[in-house]
Amino acid sequence: MSKKYFGTDGIRGRVGDYPITADFLLKLGWAIGRVFAEEGKNFVLVGKDTRISGYMFESALEAGLSAAGVDTHLLGPMPTPAIAYLTRTLRARAGIVISASHNPYYDNGVKFFSPQGTKLADNLEYKIEKYIDSSIVTVDSAKLGKAKRIEDAAGRYIEFCKSTIPSTLSLKGLNVVVDCANGATYHVAPCVLEELGANVITIGVSPNGLNINHLCGATQPQKLVDTVLKEKADLGIALDGDGDRLIMVDHKGEIVDGDELIFIIAKSKLAQEKQPMPIIGTLMSNLGMEHGLEKLGLSLIRANVGDRYVLEMLKQHNALLGGESSGHIICLDKTTTGDGIVAALQILTEIQQTGHNLHELKQGMQKYPQVLINVNVARKVNPLEIPAIQKAVTTVEKALGYEGRILLRASGTEPLIRIMVEGMDEKKVNDYAQQLAEVVKNSISS
C-alpha cells in the first residue's frame, strides 16, 4: 500500500505549497503526538536546519504535539545525524527533523527518527497518515504537552563525534578548510575539528535563513576547492545543509566524492580488523569502486538509490559501511544514520595514522567515466520490456564486458527514461550512451 504523504525520507516540498504549509505541519504534529501518545508517555525531540521557514514549522509542530498531550524538547539548529543520536541517548519517544537537506532555502520538509535513532517503521507512518486525515481533537487543558529547550545539545553531539575516533589521536598539524553550507553544522563541525587539534579555516558558517546550500557545501564544492588552493590547506571538508553528506577536496584541489571516501574507509577497516566484509553501495555507485574493492578482497552489494535502502541492505547483510556517490555515508559501527562529520573523522584518522595525504589515499581506486542521459517519453513504460531496447542493451553490455556497466530505468517521479553508461574508455561510454538513447527514443512513441 502506497503512502499518501510520506516519501522515502519523510515529507518534503516547496514552502507554501501543500503539504509544506503551516496548517499541515500543525496537523502533522498533532498526528505524530496521537501516535506516540499511544506508545506511552514521553517527550519528542524537534530539531531543524537553518532555513528561515524552520521557525514557522517548529512552532506549528510544537503546537500540534501539545494539542495531542505530548511534551516537546526543542534542539534548535542541529545536524540531522545529531538529532538521530540525541533521540537515542536522551531516550526520546521520537526525533523530528525540520530540513530539506541539500535543497535550496525555499524548500523544507520533515523526517523522523525512532527511539533507536533509525528511520520510523512503515506501520507508524501509516498510523500518522491516518490521523492526518482526521479532525484534531485537543486533549484536556490539564494534559496539554509542554515545551522546553535543550541547551547543551551541541556540546553533547560534539563529544559524541570526537568519541568515534581513538582517544589518543590528534589532528594537530592538519590545516583543514571546512564548508558548512550555511547549514546546521555551522556551530558544530568547526568546534569538533578545533578541539581535536586541527587548524581550521571556515566557510559557509554565516547562515541567514536564505543562504543554506547556496553556492557552497557538498553539492557545490567549487568555493571549497578555491579556498583549499588559496590557503594551501591539506584538505577540505564540505557538508550539506543538514550535515548528513560529505564531499572532500585534496590538497591539489581535486574533489573526492562519496564512492572514493567509502573506498578509503573500507580499506582502513580491512587493515585494522583483517576481516573481509561486504560494502553497500547503490545502483549509481561507480564501477571503479567495485573493481577497487575487489582488489582488496571486498565485495560491493548494490542497493536502490536512497539512504533508507542502503541502511536496509546494511542490516540484511550484517555490514557496517555503506553509502552513496553523493556523500551520504553510513558508518554503522559508529552511528545509526549518515553522518558527514563522523565520516570525515574516519578519513582524517586514516591520514594521521598512515601518514598518507588524501590525494594518496584515493589512488587505490580509479573512477570510471560515467554518462547520464534522460530521455523524455510520453507514456510510462518499463523500457527493458521492449524487445528492441533489450537487444540494444544486451549488445552494449557484451561490448563493454567487465570494463563497463549499464543502468536503464524509468524515473519514478517524471516521464523520463534514465540511461547510465560507465566504463574505462570515455569515448566508448559516450558513444554507447548516445546509441541507447536513440534506440529508446525510436522504440517508445506516444
Catalytic residues: 101
Cross-strand pairs, 13: 108
| Beta-strand relationship, 279-282 and 300-303 | parallel
Element containing residue 222 per DSSP (H, E): helix 222-231
Q: What sign for the dihedral angle of Cα 191, 336, 107, 407?
A: positive
What's the Cα-to-Cα distance from 100 to each of 54, 214, 396, rounded to whole Å? 10, 13, 38
- Evaluate whether 98 touches 61 at the Cβ level (below 8 Å): yes
Owner of C-alpha cell 547520464: 372
* Nearest CA among 291, 286, 433, 263 for reference residue 368: 286
- Evaluate whether 86 touches 92 at the Cβ level (below 8 Å): yes
Amino acid at 301: I
The grid cell for 278 is 561486504
Element containing residue 410 per DSSP (H, E): strand 404-410
Report the alpha-carbon distance of residue 339 to residue 332 in Å, rounded: 10
Report the alpha-carbon distance of residue 17 to residue 40 in Å, rounded: 33
* Nearest CA among 268, 441, 239 for reference residue 346: 268
Report the alpha-carbon distance of residue 382 to residue 88 in Å, rounded: 41
Report the alpha-carbon distance of residue 174 to residue 233 in Å, rounded: 8
- Classify residue 95 as exposed, middle or buried by CB count within 10 Å of its CB (0-12, 13-18, 19+): buried
* Nearest CA among 95, 108, 135, 111 for reference residue 21: 108
- Evaluate whether 259 touches 247 at the Cβ level (below 8 Å): no
